[in-house]
Amino acid sequence: MKKKSLFLLFFITSFLAFSQEKITISNILINGNKITKEGIILRELSFNKKEIVNKNDLEIKIGKSRQNLINLKLFNFVKITPLIKGNNADIIIDVIERWYFWPYPILEVSERNFNSWWDDFKASNYSDFSRLNYGLFLNWENFRGRNELIQFKIRKGFKEHYLFSYQVPYFDKKKRVGINTNLQLFRRKKSFYKTEKNTLIYYTNNDSYSTKDYEFNTEILYRKGVHKTHHLKYQYFLSNVDQEIINRNSKYLNNGYNTTGSYSKLTYQFTNENRDYVEYPLQGYYLHIESAKYLNGTSPINHFEFIGKAEKHIEIKPSLYLGSSFKGKWSSEGYQPYFAQSAFGFEDYVRGYEYYVIDGQKFLLSKTALKYAIIKKTNFEIPYVKMKQFNKSHYSLYLGFFSDLGYVKDQQTNESNNLTNSILIGNGISLDYITYYDKLLRIEFSINHLGEKGVFLHFSNPFGSIDKL
């Protein structure tokens, strides 16, 4: 009996010793980064050269590192291979870089979503092209190989947009501190100035611009670890509007008849990004906390605002995924001009209510989706294309079932906007197609609590994408 106990003890000790076998990472070798600096790649790894790790943990660290590199949006494909020799390992990282310099023409619909534009276009007997935007957009990603971004936009049409933006993720030696800044000008001849019956009301001045909006942003960000980032942002806004807009809605800018409005905004943000693929997550979680103080200029806007969002995605079983998110906005009491109180209908919305705009100072939004992978991520070669940035692509296809719930609290709108201060429910099914360069097409059939049904087209993550200019 004593011998058996000693044997069992020896077996358990040996097993634990084996399971905790240590591996020294001797070298990290990177291939395929013709433009991207090695430091940008090394920054995203969950391991370091000369680090000693448990053999069982190495695979987990490699998977996490690959996820981080994909979310940089600098590479179409990332492969990490460990070459283990005894108690040492060489880590081989193979990347295929994207194409980074994009001077491309702009031809787009100027509407909150595709369906809203299509209904207006159909109502004009397919003859009204006035709500189209056109121009040139210069997007230089990974500038200097340091993951910097330069953007320059000249957009004419329904909503003119002129932009210069420069984003630097890191400028210190430890690659923790970055800065983003941009200047923007928006101009419209046809501008919305009021919401009635949950619909935007427009004013048109064919002879001159009815609204001109100027914006300056500068932001300092601090990213101590791979996943957690702190942001401190200052924004300045200046608007000039046609006198007729003020005559029709004196609360548009400043609760009076001044055609010029200005204010500043100071914002702190914290994000914890742990999703496997930010443009279409299947696993992981995301946390966003934002607090902002509005500082009045010529517009009497001087309130405090808090926004929070939590998102979780899990794999229930192979090919079946569940995702959910909760987002809320709270504003302190006090007057807010019309332009500052958008809630649902633009960036945030309950599916099934795409045709409506719902204003308010506070809101809650819940989204849940069950997704089945009809086709998991599949790689393929594109014949006769020699450039590595384009000759290898991927696609995937998902069938989804979703349910959204929202509520907007509004204390300033007129009574005709009957979707405020009421529970909004939208359910439906979707077919999602994803391919390289973060391209996504969603076809959704949804029904809302009013009994309205419809097929809607979207080109972004249903849980909300990363802010883009």
Please write the tens of the pLDDT for every residue from 224-252: 888 999 999 999 999 999 999 999 988 88
In this structure, what are the phi and psi dihedrals at residue 279, rounded to the nearest 5 degrees?
-75, -25
CB 135 within 8 A of CB 155: yes
Q: Domain 169-458, CATH 1.10.260.40 — does that match?
A: no
Calculate the average pLDDT of the chain.
87
Q: Is the pLDDT confidence value at 296 over 70?
A: yes
* Domain boundaries defined on the chain: 18-97, 169-458
Q: To the nearest 10°, the Cα dihedral for 80, 81, 83, 89? A: 30
Position 134 scores a pLDDT of 84
Concatenating the DSSP letter of every residue in 377-442 gives EEEEE-TT---TTTSEEEEEEEEEEEEEEEEEE-SSS-TT-TTTTSEEEEEEEEEEEEETTTEEEE
306-352 pLDDT, tens digit per residue, is 999 999 999 999 999 999 999 999 998 777 888 778 889 888 999 99
Does the global pTM surpass 0.85? no
141-194 pLDDT, tens digit per residue, is 999 999 999 999 999 887 889 999 999 998 888 889 999 999 999 998 888 888
> In angstroms, rounded to a whole number, what is the distance separating the alpha carbons of residues 153 and 401?
37
CB 370 within 8 A of CB 321: yes
CATH architecture of 18-97: Roll (3.10)
Q: What 8-state DSSP symbol labels residue 29?
A: E
Q: What 8-state DSSP symbol labels residue 466?
A: P
